[in-house]
Amino acid sequence: MIAQWLENWETHCDLSKEAFTELESDMLAFIWMLFIGLIVGALAKLVMPGHDPGGILVTMLLGIAGALVAGFVGRLLGLYEPGQSAGFILSTLGAILLLAFYRLVKGRRHAV
């Protein structure tokens, strides 16, 4: 009975094995991006100690945004080809740049 149900499910399923494998690959890439973002964001906060808001989620987003900034600047400087992702070191520098910008804006807001 279970074997027959599985057989029917496979024939009615929209995802082929190739599409399912691609979906798995995309999900793993997304999880890897979050993990690397967490490490890059933590390194940026380690290099620039101080009181910054947020916990693990903000640190992760800082690292991911740092990678995006690094990729954009790297393409402008000709270090990366279109579609190529930023490297670990430049991603960390991008996160540090974003953290410095945040502190600059935060400092001006409190000074006014």
Answer whether residue 14 is part of any domain.
Answer: no
Answer whether residue 63 is part of any domain.
Answer: yes
Angle at 64 between CA 93 and CA 24, to 5 degrees: 135
Answer whether residue 91 is part of any domain.
Answer: yes
Domain that holds residue 97: 28-111
Question: pLDDT of the chain along its 112 residues, tens only?
Answer: 666 655 665 555 555 666 667 777 778 878 888 888 889 888 888 888 877 777 788 888 888 888 888 888 888 888 888 777 778 888 899 899 988 888 888 777 665 5
Q: Distance between CA atoms of 65 and 31, rounded to whole angstroms?
A: 15
Sorted by sequence, the CB contacts under 8 Å of residue 42 that are 6+ apart come out as: 59, 63
Both tokens assigned to 75: 């393409």
> Is the entire prediction scored with pTM above 0.75?
no
Both tokens assigned to 30: 């997304």
Alpha-helical segments (H) within 1-112? 2-12, 17-47, 56-76, 88-111
Answer whether residue 19 is part of any domain.
Answer: no
Answer whether residue 34 is part of any domain.
Answer: yes
